[in-house]
Structure 1
Amino acid sequence: MRINRALRLGIGVAALALAAATTAGCGSSEKKSALDHAKGGKLTIGIKFDQPGLGLRNKDGSYSGFDVEVARYVAGKLGVKPDGITFKESPSPQRETLIENGQVDYIVATYSISDQRKEKVDFAGPYYIAGQSLLVRADNATINGPDDLKGKKVCSVKGSTPAQNLQKNFPDTQLQTNDTYSLCLEGLKAGSWDAVSTDDIILAGYAAQSAGSFKVVGKPFTTENYGIGLKKGDKELRDKVNDAVEAMIADGSWKKAFDQTVGASGYQAPTPPKVVRY
């Protein structure tokens, strides 16, 4: 009897310990919000790694560009210093997934706001308004705008707004898609296609990076509102990010950042946008 009683007591203690451990484990596995991460002095921010003037990972491992400066300014307003930021590459087709899975706290990566995307993520901003345009080889005299695209091979990025616009509005164009614009540029240089299409500000950066090789042609034929993508339903974060964008524009940091990044290519800073608070 004593042995059975001791055995039962031992089993009971073990069960209580297991339950406590399980409860503690469940608590620790709960995903923290972006603002929780910011309170801890850390943020993971999605940017592009291959867009000169906007989001570029340099050879020395540093990061530069207008989107990078916007990301850093917003982080600062959330209480996070530059050394507390981890930048994560966010290719166009992966942006919603990265946000939904919590792999990034927010994304600043030439991310056009659209109704389709707002079904999965929320946006703050816009912090910039761009327009889709065309990049061709410097010696190309046959393409001067979207009306010249019939039968031409044009490269854009999978899942991007420019690719969707071409497919919908220019069905006679032979659309080619890649994972990144840098791959589109390589194909354009090699003669694999006739043009690359995305937003004018992105193309201006590529043209400046390869002076004499490419040129931007025609006037922009869409309006693209760049927003900061974040987790759907996190209103507190969205409000704070909107406040940060408004502050960046108001205190002159927005124009200074633009002039030091995209502006270095000769591209003139436009009038800053008005934050809409989607």
Structure 2
Amino acid sequence: MAGLATAGALTAVSAEKAAAQAAPDSVLRTALDRGKLIVGTGSTNAPWHFENDAGELVGMDITMGRILAKGLFDDPTKVEFVTQDPAQRIPNVTTNKVDITIQFMTMNAQRSQLIHFSRPYYVEGVALLTLPGSENKTFDKLLAGGSATRVSILQNVDAETSVHYALPQAQVMQIDTQANVLQALESKRVDAAAVDLSTVRWLASRNPDKYFDAGKSWYSMLYGAALRQGDLDWLTFVNQTFTIAMFGHETALYDAAFKEYFGQEPPLRHPGFPAV
């Protein structure tokens, strides 16, 4: 009961008074004074950021922005989303045009020299999308097919290596756009399409009569939010808010989005030894 009593007592401290302890130029203080959070993101990449039938911006990245707004203002609607080109994800943070970028951004050492990354909020990977009526719809069947197995993938310097990591003997068809990668599968010119794991789960859960998750993923890549360097008060707040939303006592927003956009229930969290 001591923990609950302490938590209740802390709510008597206003966010404004607490934020006054932050550095004068911290985004934490700026956002609270402004009364809303400004998030840079995209609008054309389901399931991360896209417009629904009502013209509303939705997706997993959008939910992460709303989680931060709830943490700041106890109101997930107090957020302004600024749509930006992927090339502006870092510049808009470093020039203070946005408070944070949440835009399916892969964490790496090179980018970490320019910005702070939040803790990861999703582990992306490469996965295989197949057709539900195909005899070779599972990974085991694709692997057994050897050199007869054909796989489409977006053209890039690592395409052959990426596919052959999971299917060493497969024929690799490099294609110019993601839409055409999927079209090659739909027209049965290939047996599988190698795309992002999130794309596989989104399409297979939304269109089970059209797409199938072959059950194999590899090459883990961490997605994190981008913040301006040097603002440790803001970075600490973002990290703690994300951690609470994913592993603590306020997981409703994250869990609902994970199920909505990836078609899966998040793993159960068990009280006891921390696993974050």
Q: What TM bracket, shorter-length normalisation? A: 0.5 to 0.7
Matched, 1:115 2:109: yes
Q: CA 1:38/1:203 → structure 2, altered by over 3 Å: closer, same or farther?
A: farther
What is the match of residue 258 of structure 2? 262
Q: Over residues 85-138 of structure 1, what are the superposed CA-to-partner deviations in whole Å (9 max), with x where a residue is unaligned? A: 222335555533443444432122332322232133221112233432122343
Q: Contact 1:110–1:227 (CA<8 Å) still a contact in 2?
A: yes
Match in the other structure for 1:236: 233
CA distance in 1, matches of 2:154, 2:210: 17
Q: Which runs of 5+ in 2 are unaligned?
A: 1-24, 165-170
Whether the 8 Å contact between 2:181 and 2:193 is mirrored in structure 1 is yes
Judge conservation of contact 1:53–1:66 (CA < 8 Å) in 2: yes
Alpha-carbon distance in structure 1 between the residues aligned to 2:36 and 2:189? 43
The DSSP-based 3-state class of the residue aligned with 1:88 is strand
TM-aligned CA distance change 1:258 to 1:248, over 3 Å: closer
Matched-pair identity in %: 20
RMSD: 3.7
Contact 1:54 1:262 in 2 (8 A): no
Question: Quick one: structure 1 residues 173 and 212, their matched pair in 2 at CA, closer, same or farther if it must change by over 3 Å?
Answer: same
> Is 189-198 or 115-124 further displaced after alignment?
189-198
- 1:88 is aligned to 82
Unmatched 5+ stretches in structure 1:
1-31, 157-162
2:207 paired with 1:210: yes
Structure 1 residues 212 and 191, CA, compared in 2 at 3 Å: closer, same or farther?
same
Which residue does the alignment assign to 2:11? none
The alignment of Structure 1 onto Structure 2 pairs a total of residues equal to: 235
Letter of the structure 1 residue corresponding to residue 236 of structure 2: D
Contact 1:41–1:80 (CA<8 Å) still a contact in 2?
A: no
- Taking a change above 3 Å as real, the CA distance of residues 177 and 234 of structure 1, as seen in their structure-2 partners, is farther
TM-score, normalising length: structure 2:
0.66
**1:231-256 deviation digits (Å, cap 9, x = unpaired):** 233322211101211222344333x2
Checking the alignment, whether the CA contact within 8 Å between 2:154 and 2:174 is kept in structure 1 is: yes
Matched AA of 2:172 = T
CA contact (8 A) 2:67 2:253 kept: no
Give the AA of the match of 2:200. Answer: L
How many Å apart are 1:221 and its aligned residue?
Answer: 0.9
In structure 1, what residue type is equivalent to 2:159?
L
Residues 138 and 233 of structure 1, relative CA distance in 2, 3 Å threshold: farther
Q: State the structure with more CA Rg.
A: 1
Higher mean alpha-carbon deviation, 260-269 vs 142-151, is at 142-151
Deviates more, 1:95-104 or 1:239-248: 95-104
Cα shift at 1:192: 8.0
